[in-house]
Amino acid sequence: MSTATVPVPPIAGVRSPPAIIVGPRTALGFVATRRVVEVILTIVLGAGAGLLFYGSHFGLNMVHSQLGAQAISFPAKGSAALTPAEFPDLQRYAGQKVDTGPKAKAYANGFINRHLAAAAGGQTYSQVSAASQADPTNAKLSATAATLFKGETLRGLLLYAWGWSVVSTIALYAAIGALVGFLIMLLGTVGDFVADDKLARHMSHV
């Protein structure tokens, strides 16, 4: 094999520098390095897409199954427990089961939270509990504190499920993006392998 000489154009008044010699080994070495980088990127994107799809499916399925096991449902449409005047934002969920993250959030903030606010006049569990401890003989305060504790616990669990559904949905979008990147890199890598083989055969005859 011989080397290829790359001439450098002369500059007026300046002594021309020596020609830059590019050997076949240098060109082929660059090709090999690029191949390694492309293969690594393709593998990383493919593995990342697979893991993100798995994590997203696991999270969304877990949220759905756990919420379904609780058998929580919105009151039926037209019932006194879900009047349009008091719950205008929940009418689209009337009669439906709470089995997704968005529904869990709507039930927690739109239904439970309103009932808790009405039961304690806007006070939180910690405030009512402190008042109940200061007046232990007050049965009404004790009952209200128990109601707030149960309601806020359920509300927190529902919001926790909603949070995981958001994380899982973001993972799904990230997985789709990684998959697109993987396919682009795969096509590019295969195309480069074909083109580089032709370049290697050409350089071997230079």
pLDDT digits (tens, 9 = 90+) for 7-28: 545 555 555 555 444 445 565 5
3-state secondary structure of 19: coil
Asked whether 52 and 178 are in contact (CB, 8 A), the reply is yes
3-state secondary structure of 5: strand
144-185 residue pLDDT tens: 888 889 999 999 999 999 999 999 999 999 999 999 999 988
> Among 72, 113, 77, 73, which Cα is nearest to 92's?
77
pTM of the predicted model as reported, rounded to 2 decimal places = 0.70
Give the structural domain span for 174.
Answer: 4-11+18-204
Instruction: Please state the domain count of the chain.
Output: 1
| Cα-based distances in Å from 38 to 81, 165, 179, 183 | 60, 34, 15, 12
| Residue 141 pLDDT level (bands cut at 50, 70, 90) | confident
- Tell me how far apart the alpha carbons of residues 206 and 1 are, in angstroms, rounded to a whole number: 6
| Residue 131 pLDDT level (bands cut at 50, 70, 90) | confident
